[in-house]
């Protein structure tokens, strides 16, 4: 192996190197029985992060305006509990939040059903801890999704 090949494999990452050696990973969501594209396909990280940003912004806006009455320090205290409450209620009832709806996403169980209240509670709690949400598998499911048996799909 010459140095250019070694450098190229390092820059491309382990997945590209493994694929060159013959390993087949398939598309995101194939192992879960989800379609490659369109409705029901596993959501990509860009949409998920965008939806999370919108949901956090809405929660902070509600905390600032309704609970803290314009006091920024109090709003910082109320922001995360408001985010938690909004996510649990909307995921358990509608399967989507404001941000997820804006980005065309829905959270479902692996069997295709709606998330239950305990699933929504645990998933949102783990999401608020941040670390489980940033550790993904090759299907871009975070540990918060894997722990409760859910997947975020496009609608």
Alpha-helical segments (H) within the chain? 3-12, 14-20, 45-62, 72-93, 98-102, 117-128, 131-134, 143-148
Q: Is residue 34 included in any domain, yes or no?
A: yes
Q: What is the rounded CA–CA span in Å between residue 115 and residue 122?
A: 11
- Predicted confidence band of residue 146 (pLDDT cuts 50, 70, 90): very high
Least confident of 2-6, 24-28, 47-51: 2-6
CB-based contacts of 135-142 (< 8 A; 24+ apart in sequence): 136/45, 138/15, 138/25, 138/28, 138/31, 139/28, 139/29, 139/31, 139/32, 139/42, 140/28, 140/42, 140/43, 140/44, 140/45, 140/48, 141/42
Mean pLDDT of 112-136: 93
Tell me whether residue 16 is in a domain: no
- For residue 84, pLDDT beyond 90: yes
**Model pTM greater than 0.85?**
no
Within a domain: 4? no
pLDDT band at 6 (very low <50, low <70, confident <90, very high): low
Q: Which of 35-39, 51-55, 70-74 has the lowest mean pLDDT?
A: 70-74
**Residue 128 pLDDT more than 60?**
yes
Roughly what angle, to the nearest 10 degrees, separates helices 45-62 and 72-93?
Answer: 120
In a domain, 25, yes or no: no
Query: Has residue 38 been placed in a domain?
Result: yes
12 belongs to a structural domain: no
Q: Is residue 24 part of a domain?
A: no
pLDDT digits (tens, 9 = 90+) for 85-115: 999 999 999 999 999 999 999 999 999 999 9
Considering its fold, how many domains does the chain have in total?
1
Backbone angles phi, psi at 150, to 5 degrees: -120, 170
Q: Structural domain of residue 80, as residue ranges?
A: 30-154
Q: 5 in a domain, yes or no?
A: no
68-72, 103-107, 126-130 — most confident range: 103-107
């Amino acid at each position: 192996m010459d140095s250019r090949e070694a450098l190229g494999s390092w820059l491309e990452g382990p997945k590209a190197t493994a694929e060159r050696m013959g390993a087949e990973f398939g598309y995101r969501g194939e192992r879960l029985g989800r379609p490659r594209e369109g409705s029901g396909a596993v959501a990509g990280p860009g949409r998920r992060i965008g939806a999370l940003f919108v949901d956090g912004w809405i929660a902070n806006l509600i905390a600032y305006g309704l609970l803290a009455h314009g006091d920024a320090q109090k709003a910082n205290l109320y922001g995360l509990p408001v985010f938690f409450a909004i996510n649990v209620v909307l995921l358990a009832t509608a399967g989507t939040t404001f941000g997820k709806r804006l980005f065309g996403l829905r959270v479902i169980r692996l069997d295709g059903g709606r998330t239950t209240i305990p699933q929504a509670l645990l998933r949102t709690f783990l999401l608020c801890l941040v670390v489980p949400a940033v550790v993904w598998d090759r299907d871009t499911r975070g540990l918060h999704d894997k722990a409760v048996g859910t997947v975020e799909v496009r609608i």
